[in-house]
Structure 1
């Protein structure tokens, strides 16, 4: 299982419109894939843009495909400014 950290930019004027879409998408993913996401943002903004991050812990194989479909269905791209960047992390095994 992998943890996904996805960050992207949001214009200040789009933040209020995007937040409920992300939360609704998270609710749908929790029902569909059993993974509950969270969303965070950096404090403040730079040049009218905020940095947001979605976090999905312990995702099963194929979750990235379900997430991509959910992002399209939710229409998040209309309120983000630029691409979504995904970082993948895994637990460190205690066995060598």
Structure 2
């Protein structure tokens, strides 16, 4: 499988993960900062949350890990949670801003 195809599959899976407090997926919210495809299809994901004290942080990270790990060919997943830079509404896609009435 090509790296581009694998990246598309990862992004598709991440679009099925939703922040429970906001009815928009984590890709559209801008919570995924970087997807790294490393040697042997080891996947690194740098992401954040809408707030540092998010009560469902563990659930979201576990869901990201499980969904990416289930993609055929992925050998391992490392989800790294960061708050640098802090998330802002400006990181959301235009579609998400429209859906949530921020435009």
Please give the TM-score of this superposition, normalised by the length of structure 1: 0.46
| Greater RCO, 1 or 2 (C-alpha within 8 Å, sep 6+) | 1
Please give the TM-score of this superposition, normalised by the length of structure 2: 0.44
Structure with greater strand share of residues: 1
